[in-house]
Amino acid sequence: MAPAPAIFSSVFSNALLSPIWASRHCRNALLPPVALASVLTSASDHKNHHRSRKEHCWVVRRKASIAHSSIAKEVTATVSSSPAHGYPEYDRLLPCPFQNQSPRVEHHVVLEGGLVLDWISKALDLPPLFVADLIRFGAVHYALVCPKPPPTATPEQIQIYKEVTEPSVLQKRSSIKGKTVREAQKTFRVTDANQFVEAGTYLRVHVHPKRFPRCYEIDWKSRIIAVTSTYVVLDKPAATSVGGTIDNIEECCAMFASRALGFDTPLRTTHQIDNCTEGCVVLARTKDFCSEFHAMIREKTVKKLYLALAAAPVPVGIITHYMRPVNIAPRLVSEDIIGGWHLCQLEVLECKEVMWPAAKVMETHNVEDCGWPFKKVAYECKINLLTGKTHQIRAQFAAIGAPIVGDSMYIPSVMAKMANPSINPFDRKWKEYASEDEKMAAIEQWIAQHGKEPNAAIGLQASHISWDDGTCSYEAGAPWWRSTDQ
């Protein structure tokens, strides 16, 4: 008979999802941003990484905290997992590969207490050093009590959930005394490979964290705009994350900028811009400044200007839309007021015609073609962002038929509307629907017209940021599309 962890793995692996994770990853069969684990790389592959040996060693030599792990003492860095499960053999998370693999997210409940590194290594048949890397990357999360399974769970999964959350079982667990079940179901990152996990603890392991190879190609010191005693201003490169993702807090601007500046304490994120957007980002050196900057954003005293390269002309003036209050991409907007939808406003200060970026410039910055049919000229717009919603400029420009150059998510929807003007159910030309089901079907069809999130740069830059009535004012460098490469 198979050991308990193996039995449970076959039941719960990639299954036990709750509303905590009800994002586009679940809805779209765990599409990116969850992605990628490193596979054993051949010597020829290493030559194609275009990164120095020094850069690899600089990160790899950071010691994982596994000194007390009984398994970790018995293995070396070259241990591989068994091919019996059908997954690739795993070694270490570094060096960073250039392409993401299919997602792999494992959901488990600990049946016998022990060190988290040991338990995951045994349950998932993974080398302990690889698991230690996952923990360092922030790719392992836990909850004291297993969250409720989704409606798609099997009877066997539901039965296991009921057994581990039975009131008589929970009453015996001292770790959750004084907490409600809902409080105990809240997830946290595992930060120590030696953390003890007791029986009944829920674990979520992102075996393929989303990777950011661009981080290893950047001269980070050259991207620093300003350094003060309380904050740093960074000219963020495209194809990087400001503060990390749910499964990767290691490969991000905050971490790499901290290392470039020699800081012992990592910088804190104060605000976000999309991974595919470049430009000004403020990172806090202190907790107090982080709170102060958040307060200034809430009070709307932080001014943000953007440069956007649109594929069609954009009218000068204030553009208003309302965004669907669903935290899933693509972001849907409507010109009409819809109850509960968020106000989105931006002001186009100027819009000038420029040449479409040369093919070599697009290639250098990995900008996607996206099939846009009109590539003679583009339109550089200066934008004052009045509200700050995720994807706001991208969604609003697409809604008026002027998508951002290289935006593989929104350009396909604009082209679909060009072919079928009535396809957008939130357009002012929308029709009345006979039933709610018919309307929902139309919305799903509209969502399907959108593409994937860009993997590299798009024509969008956070060009300016200021606060304290302009006392603190910073500018990014020239945007990629002004490159002189021909």
Catalytic center residues: 274
End-to-end CA distance of the chain: 66
Specify the residue for token string 């667990």: 173
Cα dist. 112→1, 83, 116, 117, 118 in Å? 17, 25, 11, 13, 11
DSSP of 75-97: --TT----GGGSSPPB--S-SPP
Give strand ranges (E) for 301-376: 303-310, 317-323, 333-334, 342-355
What gap in Å lies between CA 208 and CA 36, rounded to an integer? 4
Interior CA angle at 109 toward 105 and 110, to 5°? Answer: 120
In 3D space, the residue among 100, 117, 111, 101 whose CA is nearest the CA of residue 3 turns out to be 111
How far apart, in whole angstroms, are the C-alpha atoms of residue 284 and residue 292?
10
Buried b (16+ CB within 10 A) or exposed e, 184-216: bbebeebeebbeebeebbbbbbbbbbbbbbbbb
User: Residue 151, class by beta-carbon neighbours within 10 Å (0-12 exposed, 13-18 middle, 19+ buried)?
Assistant: exposed
Fill in the amino acid letter for 443.
I
Rounded to 10 deg, the angle between the 4-12 and 116-124 helix axes is: 70
Question: What is the longest distance spanned by two Cα atoms in the chain?
Answer: 71
CA–CA gap between residue 249 and residue 136 (Å, rounded):
8
What tokens were used for 183?
Answer: 């409080």
The answer to whether the peptide bond before residue 32 is cis (omega within 30 degrees of 0) is no
